[in-house]
C-alpha cells in the first residue's frame, strides 16, 4: 500500500529511537562496546606498548584501527540479543499486525547497529586524540575509512541477524559474538604479523580483519594503501551480501 511505503523511513526511525534507548539504558552494552575497547587501548599503550615494536613512533596511531574493529565486533552480540528478545517477547507480532512495512522492524535493528557503532567509534577516536593520536589523512581518506567501517559493521550485523533468527535460546543468539571477538586479536591489530610463528602468521595475513586494519591504518597515516583496500572491500562486501541474502531468506520464511 502506498501509505506504508511513504512512512517506511519514519517507521524505521521510530524503531531506531527505541533500540537506541535500549542501548543507553544498558550499562552492560556501553561497557562492552565503548569502555572495554578504551581500557584495552590504555592498557596496550601505557602498559604493554613500550615492549611492542611496530616500526611507528606513535603506538596509538598503530593501535587505533584495531580498537575500532574490536568495539564493532563487541557490539555484534548485542544486535542479535536485541533482535532475538524482540522475536521472543511478541513485540514483533505486534509490529507485524500493524500497517507498517514487514521489514521495518528488522531494518530498525540494522540501522541501530550502524548508529550505535558510529557513536562508540567516535568516542574512541576522541579518547585516542587525547592519548596522542594524530592523523595526516585528508577528507577523502576519512571518507574511505568511514565507508570501510560501515561495510564491516553491516557485514557483521547481517551475520548477527541470521544468528538471532535461527537461534533457539538467548545464549545461542549471542554465541555468534565470540569468534568475532577473537578475529581482531589474531590479526595485525596489536603487533605486526612479522613477529608471529609461521602457522599463525599464515592465518592472520589471510583473514579479513588484517587487511581491514592495514587499510584503515594506511589511510589514517597517509601512507599508500596498495592492494589491501581491495581485499578489505572484497571481504566486507562479500560477507555482507551473502549474509544479507541468507538473513532475508530466513526472515521471510519465519514471519
Q: Which residues sit at the interface with other proteins, rule CB under 8 A?
A: 1, 4, 7, 10-11, 14, 17-18, 21-22, 25-26, 89-91, 93-100, 255
The residue (of 16 and 232) whose beta carbon lies closer to other proteins is 16
* Shortest Cβ 140–other proteins spacing (Å): 38
* Shortest Cβ 166–other proteins spacing (Å): 17
d(CA 251, CA 253): 5
One DSSP character per residue, 49-68 reads: GGG---S-S-HHHHHHHHHH
The residue (of 21 and 194) whose beta carbon lies closer to other proteins is 21
Show the cell assigned to 205: 595475513
* Shortest Cβ 184–other proteins spacing (Å): 29
* Shortest Cβ 73–other proteins spacing (Å): 24
Enumerate residues 6+ apart whose C-beta is below 8 A from 58: 132, 133, 134
The residue (of 131 and 255) whose beta carbon lies closer to other proteins is 255
Show the cell assigned to 195: 613477529
* Shortest Cβ 123–other proteins spacing (Å): 22
One DSSP character per residue, 10-46 reads: HHHHHHHHHHHHHHHT-HHHHIIIIIHHHHHHHIIII
The residue (of 26 and 166) whose beta carbon lies closer to other proteins is 26
* Shortest Cβ 165–other proteins spacing (Å): 16
d(CA 250, CA 236): 21
The residue (of 30 and 196) whose beta carbon lies closer to other proteins is 30
Tally of CB atoms within 10 A around 118: 15
The residue (of 25 and 47) whose beta carbon lies closer to other proteins is 25
Q: Residue 3, exposed/middle/buried by CB under 10 A (0-12, 13-18, 19+)?
A: exposed
The residue (of 33 and 239) whose beta carbon lies closer to other proteins is 33
Tally of CB atoms within 10 A around 242: 14
Distance of CA 17 to the CA centre of its chain: 19
d(CA 114, CA 66): 18
* Shortest Cβ 90–other proteins spacing (Å): 4
Amino acid at each position: 500500500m502506498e501509505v506504508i511505503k511513504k512512512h517506511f523511513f519514519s517507521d524505521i526511525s521510530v524503531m531506531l529511537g527505541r533500540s537506541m534507548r535500549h542501548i543507553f539504558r544498558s550499562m552492560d552494552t556501553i561497557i562492552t562496546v565503548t569502555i572495554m575497547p578504551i581500557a584495552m587501548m590504555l592498557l596496550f599503550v601505557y602498559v604493554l606498548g613500550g615492549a611492542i615494536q611496530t616500526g611507528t613512533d606513535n603506538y596509538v596511531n598503530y593501535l587505533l584501527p584495531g580498537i575500532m574493529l574490536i568495539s564493532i565486533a563487541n557490539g555484534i552480540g548485542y544486535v542479535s540479543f536485541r533482535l532475538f528478545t524482540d522475536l521472543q517477547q511478541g513485540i514483533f507480532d505486534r509490529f507485524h499486525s500493524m500497517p507498517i512495512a514487514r521489514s521495518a522492524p528488522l531494518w530498525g535493528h540494522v540501522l541501530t547497529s550502524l548508529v550505535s557503532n558510529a557513536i562508540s567509534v567516535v568516542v574512541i577516536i576522541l579518547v585516542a586524540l587525547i592519548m596522542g593520536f594524530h592523523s595526516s589523512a585528508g577528507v577523502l581518506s576519512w571518507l574511505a575509512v568511514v565507508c570501510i567501517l560501515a561495510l564491516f559493521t553491516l557485514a557483521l550485523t547481517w551475520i548477527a541477524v541470521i544468528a538471532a533468527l535461527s537461534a533457539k535460546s538467548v545464549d545461542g543468539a549471542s554465541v555468534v559474538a565470540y569468534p568475532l571477538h577473537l578475529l581482531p586479536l589474531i590479526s595485525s591489530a596489536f603487533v605486526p604479523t612479522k613477529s608471529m610463528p609461521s602457522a599463525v602468521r599464515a592465518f592472520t595475513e589471510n583473514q579479513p580483519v588484517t587487511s581491514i586494519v592495514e587499510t584503515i591504518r594506511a589511510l589514517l597515516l597517509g601512507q599508500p594503501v596498495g592492494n589491501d583496500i581491495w581485499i578489505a572491500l572484497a571481504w566486507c562486501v562479500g560477507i555482507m551480501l551473502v549474509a544479507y541474502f541468507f538473513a532475508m531468506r530466513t526472515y521471510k520464511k519465519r514471519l
